[in-house]
Amino acid sequence: MTIQLNHTIVWSRDAKSAAAFLARILGLPAPGQLYHFHVVATANGVSLDFADKEGEITPQHYAFLIGEEDFDAIFARVTAEGLTYWADPARQEENRINTWSGGRGFYFEGPDRHFYEVLTRPYAN
């Protein structure tokens, strides 16, 4: 049996805007639309399907494994937008990147306080 993650729903106050934010920061194509979802597609076939939700939204964590060549471009877009970023998930090392497992990575917040992470190497177990 082959099991793969296909998509996940990302609840947002403004799904269209939140999806556009993530696609812009990651340098991905503009989100598509499927029913009421604004879909951000990744290279491995997994999509983040943004949907509007009223009321409280529980922030989630979404991590993206990226190539070294993409890191500098993504980092430049984060800093150009004046976003705060952290080297760690506890948000103790503000405006720093990490070099865990021989790669580079950082965390940043998006709309609705979802916590996004980019890393160039999977973490060693």
What's the total number of domains in the chain?
A: 1
- Identify each DSSP E strand in 1-125 by its residue range: 7-12, 32-34, 37-41, 47-52, 61-65, 85-86, 105-109, 115-119
* pLDDT tens-place string over residues 74-99: 999 999 999 999 999 999 999 999 99
In the three-class reduction of DSSP (H, G, I as helix; E, B as strand; rest coil), residue 57 is classed as coil
Percent of the chain with pLDDT over 70: 99
For residue 125, being part of any structural domain is answered with no
Res 85: pLDDT = 98
Asked if the structure places residue 113 within a domain, the reply is yes
The answer as to whether 45 is a domain residue is yes
Of 40, 35, 47, 33, residue with least CA distance to 4: 47
A 10 A CB-CB count for 74 gives 18
Domain span holding position 40: 7-119
Looking at the domain assignment, is residue 101 inside a domain? Answer: yes
The reported pLDDT for the residue numbered 3 is 94
pLDDT of 125 strictly over 70: no
Instruction: Say if 36 falls within a structural domain.
Output: yes
- Is the pLDDT at 105 greater than 80? The verdict is yes
Cα within 13 Å of Cα(105), Cβ side: 21
Instruction: Report if residue 124 sits inside a domain.
Output: no
Find the CATH number of the domain harbouring 88. 3.10.180.10
With respect to residue 16, please indicate whether it lies within any of the assigned structural domains.
yes
